[in-house]
Structure 1
Amino acid sequence: MTYAIDPELLPWLDMLPAVTLTDHDSLLAARSSIAQLGRILPAHEPANPVEVRTIAVPGPSDAPDVPVRVYTPANRTAAVPGLLYIHGGGFVMGDLDTFDAHVLRLADELGIVVASVDYRLAPEHPFPAPVEDCYAALTWVAAKADELGIDPARLGVAGESAGGGLAAAVALLARDRGGPRLCFQYLGIPELDDRLDTPSMRDYTDTPVWHRPNAIHSWTSYLGTEPGGPDVSPYAAPARATDLAGLPPAFVTTCQFDPLRDEGIAYAQRLAHAGVPVELRLYPGTFHGSSMVETAEVSRRMFADELDALRRGLG
């Protein structure tokens, strides 16, 4: 297919990482490409001092500790909002370093404490390991709120791509387990539905960075079985949840030429129907991961919207 991609993004297509997931070797190559991207993306120079430290926090029962990188504004004089940030990478790629500049910028520009989770990756660690790691990190942040300088009434969760799906799942777990009360969930271009049956998922087989073949490999790796089966947990694929009432207010973003577009839109619609306050953004001419081209006007708008949503959502 041909796609009406934003003209500012077109010159960058050949420079973005080519991610094609078909087998173990291609996954290792993709992990290497993503790690290399994290090293060459522009670093963020904070306007205000931010303390950064990586801590091993208690993991799920009978599982290893979870590395969490905590970003703390150094000049705060009172408790500030807290945010659990969950990185993307199709459940199979990414780490703390890959998204370090973005998370540092959030902590700097918003003046909040951000805890970024280095959850275990599939297929070596399929569901429920990644989401349980994220939930364990959330419970640790909530328990240590005073020590971290966080106002526990202003604690939210955020993620991009697979991280957006994991953030939605963490919000479901927190509600259903009577866990930490979240005030907000930011779901950036979220990966939510293993059934792979929306129009965008069926049609977008060759879109840049992410497409249907990658999504199939991603879900197969995460679930440890073929996606779309009858018994997939809503904590793996939040689109499967039948009851969305009582979840925290949400902000959902989608990209026009992204196979994940329609599942993000549908989830936002269902949140609204369940009485959850929700805002939805669909950015024209964009594709999955196009915000890596930070100089494009649409990418600047996407980040400005993220900052504004978090600022309002976290109070």
Structure 2
Amino acid sequence: MTAYPAHERFRGPRPAVLVLPGGAYRFHSEHEGEGYARWLSGIGLHAFVLRYPLMTEHRFPAPLESCRAALEWIRRSEHGLDVGTHVGVIGSSAGGHLAGLLATGTVLPTEQLAGPPPRPDFAVLAYAPADLYLLPDEPVEWILDGRMDLRGALSPVRNIDADTCATFLWATAEDPPGFPNALAYATALFDAGIPVELHIYPRGRHGLGLANGVAYGEHGDNHIPHTARWAEACEAWLGAEGFLEDVKAG
């Protein structure tokens, strides 16, 4: 896990965010990892980018277990940073799927936990698969290693409860998996009485990241100015919901 401390102009305890990049469970997209982390650091949050286990070598619940452990590690402050009262999660695509599983406290039928799983205080999901039944069978079968009986259990939209955290969602109308999944998850959150904000932008493919034209690694150089405003909207949402209250600019 790589830490990106909040910018030095911010003093005292600060909120923290677990960053889960996308990559179809085959790789980790740098523009949804380092790219997000540098943005979050700039608005006063400690960001921690996790390279969770991939399905090329592992199977569920390995990536979910890794995310839970990372969330607990951030809260314990063993990293030496001054973390405040709020620890959230942000994820894109596959990383957004994991963020949704964390937010809903998902536990697989095959797991035996000693207690309730750790959950984030807030969640930001970008074009995330929230309902695996809205995806074609082939990629789902690969992700689940053929265990299609876990399709419902690994669909965050089907695991929402009263303890699910407030969530910011965004996708684009040109993204076949992202658009319907964002709508489905937002609707389910609303129906459950969970605070939710949803943004659907008209243009942009799947996997845009910040969409600000800055490249990280081999991806992320797309520049769609209007869609890129999602980050500004997200920052405003974090403030409005009180998740930036630990932040004090020096």
TM superposition score normalised by structure 1: 0.64
Aligned with residue 192 of structure 1, among 108, 111, 130: 130
Distance 1:124 1:180 in 2: 25
Is the 1:86–1:167 contact (alpha carbons within 8 Å) kept by the matching residues of 2? yes
Give the match's secondary structure for 1:134: helix
Mark the structure with the bigger radius of gyration. Answer: 1
Tell me: CA distance 1:74–1:306, structure 2 relative to 1, closer, same or farther (3 Å).
closer
2:22 and 2:32 in contact (8 A); partners too: no
Closer/same/farther in 2, CA of residues 294 and 306 from structure 1, 3 Å limit: farther
The one-letter amino acid paired with 1:269 is T
List per-residue Cα deviations over 1:224-268 (Å, max 9, x = no partner): 016xx344353x321332x43221111111210222211221111
> Match for residue 169 of structure 1?
101
User: Is 1:277 equivalent to 2:205 in the alignment?
Assistant: no
* Deviation, structure 1 residue 303: 2.5
- Tell me the equivalent position of 2:170: 253
The structure 2 residue matched to 1:302, chosen from 230, 237, 241, is 230
Q: Which has the higher contact order (CA 8 A, sep 6+)?
A: 2
What SS does the corresponding residue of 1:73 show, helix, strand or coil? coil
Distance 2:32 2:103 in 1: 24
Q: Which residue number in structure 1 is paired with residue 77 of structure 2? A: 144
Query: In the TM superposition, what whole-angstrom CA distance separates every residue of 1:150-179 from its partner, at most 9, and x where no partner exists?
Result: 01x211111111111100101222899545
Distance 2:166 2:31 in 1: 29
Amino acid at match of 1:278: V
Q: CA deviation at 1:194?
A: 2.0
Q: Which runs of 5+ in 1 are unaligned?
A: 1-67, 202-211
Distance 1:98 1:181 in 2: 21
Distance 1:163 1:74 in 2: 24
Change in 2 beyond 3 A, CA 1:78/1:174: farther
What's the TM-score once normalised by structure 2's chain length?
0.79
Deviation at 1:97, TM superposition (A): 7.6
Structure 2 portions without partners, runs of 5+: 108-112, 212-219, 245-250
Distance 1:98 1:284, change over 3 A: closer
| Aligned counterparts of 2:130 and 2:32: Cα–Cα separation in 1 | 22
Q: Which residue of 2 aligns with 1:225?
A: 146
Aligned length: 225
